[in-house]
Amino acid sequence: MRYAILLALIDAAFLVAYAVVSFYRARGYATWAVRAPEDSNSQRVPAVALVTPVIPLLLFYAFHLDAAVAFLVAALFGVLVTRPALAVQRLVAAAIRGVEDVAPAVLLFMGIGMLLVATTQPQFVAALRPLVAGDWLRSPVAYVLLFGVASPLVLYRGPLNPFGVGIAIFTVLLTADVLPPVILVAAVMAVVQVQNVCDPTNTANVWVANFTGVPIQTITRRTLPYQTAVAIVATLAVVVGAPALFGRPAFTSFYHMAAAAETLPGFYAPPASRDRIAVDDDGTPFGRVGADAVAAELTGGAWTAMRIHDDPNLSDCSVKRYAAYLRVVSSIFTLTSGDDLDIGLRLEDCGGWIVEEWHDHAVIAPHASAGAASALASQGVARLRAWALSDPVRSRNLFALGAAVRPGDRPAYFYSFFRTSDGNMRVYVRAGGPAYAAGLRSGEVVEKIDGQAWWFYGTYPAQELAYDGKPHTLEVLQGGRAVDIALRAPFTATASDGE
């Protein structure tokens, strides 16, 4: 509300400036209107004709008549009470003039409809995502340049027009958490000031141009400098006065995200752990056989495997001997044709955050040898190598730094919620991550999220909150007592993580 009022005041100030400049430029042409002499031969219109505009409203709202029929009845009434002898000519002329007035708008809406359908296609949205990746849009300078200085990009349903191509761009910006939603809405309100007044494809502007006889391009050319200035001042107001206008800083994340990794000393594994993979098993006979086969295949190449029993989620990565953790699990299902043996490889980073998981299975004869488990484990290693080739930046960072991250990832706190059989909502926390640094630990019972009981949101909406990149406040049980944990800055991969 405060921002809307401020925006109205900015608009009013520039409207006065436009009026003053326009009057000054037209001072030699402007004249005062004078009353025209009355024509004694002209026929006066009866007073009852004045109710003609009210008739369609009455028929539509009071009698629920179809809108087209209501307007047709009003037109017939108006022509019959004014010039009944010329009824046919007046109706035909009005229809032709009506088509002339609305045809441009109808064609415009058809084009806009086709454009909006195109922007909803997944391919269009996917093509836009690289444009919003990284931190550059979180800069206050970029905010003013994009939504202020470049606000004329709203013209002709351009890339910043929320009623054109911009609908897809703003949707991607919102879903990617590039800017806080309220700041993004403020940007939309700023660029719309240009769209409303200057856009030649705006229906209202087309009607105004047709009615006044002023070319639509002339209206755009005269008003664009003033409305662009409105957008610039509005975006500057967001940058400078966001705490007073919205109750929160606009670009706090921009100043703190880049330094997030520096404030998390346990997030990355030490240099001595580079390219070292811990291979563990689930304690089953086939799991141990599979883990031995995995360790043997991984050793000798770019990576070094080490067979250990460990839980990477128990401590942060600062003293880990490995950068990645690979757990081999096995399961057997009895079928009529034999035993279905499944060997799974779950890849985690040095803090216990799951990166990928692969499973291979085969039907084996009862009491088969361990060779089948080794063969299935080898297939899992092949899947691991294929994943590393398909995502080279993320895999390189995992095995070199201990975290499968890459520039362009959404800001993250590295925690998740899950329901347990006792009905509680619990938290899983990546050791060494921002949530871990704030005080959260895996397995703790969650009581409230942002002051509300988690069940107030619902199970799935509450679980989604862990991935929105926002600094929530959680109430959890630690040692039997409720403790408030306030998340601070999330982790965002910097350019150095992609080198």
What is the pLDDT tens value at each position of the chain, 499 positions in all? 788 899 999 999 999 998 888 888 876 665 666 666 666 666 677 888 888 989 999 998 988 889 889 988 988 898 888 888 888 888 888 888 777 767 766 776 777 677 667 766 666 666 666 666 555 677 788 889 989 999 999 888 778 888 777 776 777 777 666 677 788 888 899 999 998 888 887 777 877 887 778 888 888 898 999 999 999 999 999 888 887 887 666 665 444 433 444 568 899 999 999 999 999 999 999 999 999 999 999 988 889 999 999 999 999 999 999 999 999 999 998 888 788 899 999 999 999 999 999 999 998 876 667 889 999 999 999 999 999 999 999 999 999 999 999 887 888 999 999 999 999 999 999 999 999 999 999 999 999 998 899 999 999 999 999 998 888 999 999 988 999 999 988 888 765 555 5
347: nearest Cα among 361, 328, 360, 330: 328
Q: What does the CA dihedral 24, 28, 30, 36 come to, rounded to 10 degrees?
A: 170
User: In Å, what is the CA distance from 459 to each residue of 114, 426, 484?
Assistant: 38, 11, 20
Measured distance CA(159)–CA(50) in Å, rounded: 45
What are the structural domains of the chain? 1-25+44-51+83-257 (no CATH), 271-401 (3.30.160), 415-498 (2.30.42.10)
Question: What is the value of pTM for the model shown?
Answer: 0.53
Residue 485, classed as helix, strand or coil, is: strand
Measured distance CA(17)–CA(466) in Å, rounded: 49
Whether the Cβ atoms of residue 348 and residue 354 lie closer than 8 Å to each other:
yes
Measured distance CA(183)–CA(3) in Å, rounded: 10
168: nearest Cα among 203, 133, 117: 117
Measured distance CA(232)–CA(10) in Å, rounded: 10
For the chain, count helices (H), then strands (E).
17, 11
Quickly tell me which residue has 């009013």 as its tokens: 12
Structure-block tokens of residue 182: 């309220």
Structure-block tokens of residue 375: 């063969």
